[in-house]
């Protein structure tokens, strides 16, 4: 059932491409889902996969194209002529077509739209291109089914049959008034079981109507569909007229990208990069945080230089620099991660910043205390210098509390001023805590060895 792609299969296919054996290729691919064909083609270089791509049904190849990784699609598109792109766009659903065209130059866009056969399709795509891709308008498509409230069931079924030709999957029917204003939602189930002469306005669900407006943010749409367990949601314009539909599969991508973005930011990766991205893109996405970390390291070196006298007096102090900075970093990263996740799932709606900071302080005190006791115990056990052990333990306690508070505070403050709090996770927090941790360590040492 599930498609397992093997290296052998990819190699075999490559041989078929080299010998130009179209029949054998079609035989291999005919029962596969377009998403599987995309995976297979991605294992070949674009020139080879283009040979296979040209053999596919136009409807299948359009889906294969949209299932490619973004990087691979960019490379692949360079092999297609304008006419070939027009042919693909003709077969794409409106939202996919708009996404594909959105990546192109303005002139190329206009040329392709002007060459589309289906005028209605062309104007729908043009409409979708108006919207920012991170809004409901950018996510929606034009393939949905609507019924007027004053229709009877039998007329509705006839009208729907005509509309449904273009709509691959029908989850529900949107009920509108004469001016196309959204009134409610009618399930296929209730239509199926209704009497032919019943009016639609008696059947549809008027309560708890969920919809979004075109300018709402993609993440808000995702939150709403997730919270209310919706499979599709109608989109209206500022006059509340029905203009599109968003389905859950597009929103799943938004949810995943959002989660991946947080993970990447927490790992110090500044632009979206995949394991398949090239060496240069990979390096470029990683360099900013490394350089910021490097600047932090230089700053830390100056702090230590400021306390050089103490290291001269007691060189052992230098041994525990990594312990202090690593613990500060680790605790800070944990705090910021918990806060960022809490903000993402809107857990702080009723409780203020102070409550969260208070809790992090308590957690920090507990972790700090345990760390201090452990280190003090180890020092005693190995017969280390008493004063040094005390210095490290006291520093650790203070450093852990500060790191926990800072790790929680920075994302909460960023969120207040509408900056993505995930910025404050990972390297940023680690670098800040390194510097603060070292300062505390040497200040404590200064007083201990006074």
Residue with smaller CB distance to a second copy, 52 or 333? 333
For position 345 contacting a second copy by CB under 8 A, the verdict is yes
Least separation in angstroms between residue 327's CB and a second copy is 6
For position 373 contacting a second copy by CB under 8 A, the verdict is no
For position 367 contacting a second copy by CB under 8 A, the verdict is yes
Q: Which of 20, 23, 31, 119 binds a second copy (CB under 8 A)?
A: 31
For position 39 contacting a second copy by CB under 8 A, the verdict is yes
Alpha-carbon distances, residue 291 vs 96, 283, 297, 302 (angstroms): 38, 12, 9, 17
**All residues at 6 or more sequence positions from 285 whose CB lies less than 8 Å from its CB, including other chains:** 269, 270, 271, 272, 273, 277
Q: Which two tokens stand for residue 4?
A: 């397992």
Residue with smaller CB distance to a second copy, 99 or 109? 99
Least separation in angstroms between residue 199's CB and a second copy is 18
Q: Which of 15, 45, 252, 443 binds a second copy (CB under 8 A)?
A: 252
Sheet (strand 172-176) strand order: 146-148, 172-176, 182-187
Instruction: State CA 250 to chain mean position distance.
Output: 12
For position 45 contacting a second copy by CB under 8 A, the verdict is no
Alpha-carbon distances, residue 72 vs 66, 148, 184, 260 (angstroms): 11, 43, 41, 19
Residue with smaller CB distance to a second copy, 9 or 51? 9
Count of residues touching a second copy (by CB under 8 A):
123
For position 98 contacting a second copy by CB under 8 A, the verdict is no
The pairing of strands 212-213 and 232-236 is: parallel
For position 353 contacting a second copy by CB under 8 A, the verdict is no
**Rg of the Cα trace of the chain?**
30
**All residues at 6 or more sequence positions from 68 whose CB lies less than 8 Å from its CB, including other chains:** 38, 41, 42, 76
Quote the CA–CA distance of 9 and 28 in Å, as a whole number: 10
* Angle made by CA atoms 225, 228, 143, in degrees to the nearest 5: 40
Residue list 171-200, contact with a second copy (CB under 8 A) = 171, 187-189, 191-193
Give the interface segment with a second copy, choosing from 52-60, 93-101, 108-116, 246-254 (CB under 8 A): 246-254
Least separation in angstroms between residue 113's CB and a second copy is 26
Q: Which of 330, 357, 448, 449 binds a second copy (CB under 8 A)?
A: 330
Least separation in angstroms between residue 444's CB and a second copy is 16
Q: Which of 26, 79, 313, 362 binds a second copy (CB under 8 A)?
A: 362
Beta carbons of 251 and 287 less than 8 angstroms apart:
no
Beta carbons of 383 and 312 less than 8 angstroms apart:
no
Helix (H, G, I), strand (E, B) or coil at 205: strand
For position 390 contacting a second copy by CB under 8 A, the verdict is no
For position 426 contacting a second copy by CB under 8 A, the verdict is yes
The pairing of strands 232-236 and 172-176 is: unpaired
Q: From the CB of residue 186, how many other CB atoms can be counted at a distance below 10 Å?
A: 25
For position 381 contacting a second copy by CB under 8 A, the verdict is no
For position 359 contacting a second copy by CB under 8 A, the verdict is yes
Residue with smaller CB distance to a second copy, 280 or 417? 280
Residue with smaller CB distance to a second copy, 131 or 211? 211
Give the interface segment with a second copy, choosing from 52-60, 82-90, 95-103, 169-177 (CB under 8 A): 169-177
Give the interface segment with a second copy, choosing from 51-59, 101-109, 121-129, 219-227 (CB under 8 A): 219-227
For position 79 contacting a second copy by CB under 8 A, the verdict is no
Q: Which of 45, 79, 373, 378 binds a second copy (CB under 8 A)?
A: 378
Virtual CA dihedral for 98, 102, 103, 108, nearest 10 degrees? 100
Least separation in angstroms between residue 39's CB and a second copy is 7
Residue list 262-321, contact with a second copy (CB under 8 A) = 262-264, 266-269, 273-276, 279, 282-283, 286-287, 289-291, 293-294, 296-298, 300-302, 304-305, 308, 311-312, 315-316, 318-321
Q: b/e string for 319-356 if b means 16 or more Cβ within 10 A?
A: ebbebbbebbbbbbbbbbbbbbbbbbeeeeeeeeeeeb
Give the interface segment with a second copy, choosing from 80-88, 93-101, 115-123, 345-353 (CB under 8 A): 345-353
Least separation in angstroms between residue 443's CB and a second copy is 16
Terminal CA-CA length for the chain: 74
Place of tokens 């969260």: 356
Least separation in angstroms between residue 77's CB and a second copy is 20
Residue list 137-166, contact with a second copy (CB under 8 A) = 157, 160-161, 164
Beta carbons of 155 and 199 less than 8 angstroms apart:
no
């Amino acid at each position: 059932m599930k498609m397992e792609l093997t290296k052998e299969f990819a190699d075999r296919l490559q041989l078929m491409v080299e010998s130009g054996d179209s029949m054998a290729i079609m035989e291999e691919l005919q029962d596969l889902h377009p998403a599987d064909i995309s995976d297979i083609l991605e294992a070949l270089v674009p020139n080879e996969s283009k040979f296979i791509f040209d053999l596919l049904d136009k409807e299948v190849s359009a889906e294969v194209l949209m299932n490619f990784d973004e990087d691979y699609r960019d490379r692949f598109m360079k092999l297609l002529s304008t006419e070939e792109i027009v042919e693909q766009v003709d077969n794409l659903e409106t939202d996919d077509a708009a996404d594909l065209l959105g990546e192109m130059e303005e002139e190329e866009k206009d040329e392709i739209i002007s060459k589309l056969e289906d005028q209605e399709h062309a104007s729908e795509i043009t409409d979708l291109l108006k919207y920012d891709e991170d809004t409901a308008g950018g996510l929606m498509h034009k393939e949905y089914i609507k019924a007027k409230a004053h229709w009877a069931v039998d007329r509705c079924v006839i009208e729907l049959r005509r509309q449904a030709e273009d709509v691959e999957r029908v989850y529900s029917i949107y009920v509108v008034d004469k001016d196309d204003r959204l009134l409610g939602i009618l399930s296929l189930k209730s239509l199926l079981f209704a009497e032919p002469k019943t009016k639609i306005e008696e059947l549809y669900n008027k309560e708890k109507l969920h919809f979004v407006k075109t300018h709402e943010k993609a993440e808000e749409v995702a939150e709403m569909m997730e919270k209310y367990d919706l499979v599709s949601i109608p989109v209206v314009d500022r006059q509340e007229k029905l203009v599109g539909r968003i389905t859950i599969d597009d929103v799943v991508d938004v949810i995943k990208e959002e989660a991946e973005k947080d993970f990447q930011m927490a790992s110090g990766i500044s632009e979206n990069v995949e394991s398949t991205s090239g060496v240069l893109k990979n390096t470029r996405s990683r360099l900013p945080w490394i350089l910021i970390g490097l600047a932090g390291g230089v700053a830390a070196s100056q702090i230590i230089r400021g306390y050089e006298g103490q290291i001269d007096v007691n060189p052992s102090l230098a041994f525990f620099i990594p312990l202090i900075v690593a613990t500060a970093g680790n605790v800070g990263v944990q705090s910021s991660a918990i806060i960022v996740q809490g903000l993402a799932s809107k857990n702080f709606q009723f409780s203020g910043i102070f409550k969260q900071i208070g809790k992090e302080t308590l957690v920090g005190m507990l972790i700090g205390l345990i760390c201090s006791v452990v280190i003090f115990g180890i020092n005693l056990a190995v017969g280390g210098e008493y004063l040094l052990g005390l210095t490290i333990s006291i520093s650790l306690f203070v450093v852990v509390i500060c790191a926990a508070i800072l790790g929680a505070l920075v994302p909460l403050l960023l969120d207040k001023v509408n900056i993505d709090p995930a910025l404050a996770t990972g390297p940023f927090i680690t670098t800040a805590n390194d510097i603060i941790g070292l300062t505390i360590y040497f200040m404590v040492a200064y007083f201990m060895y006074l």
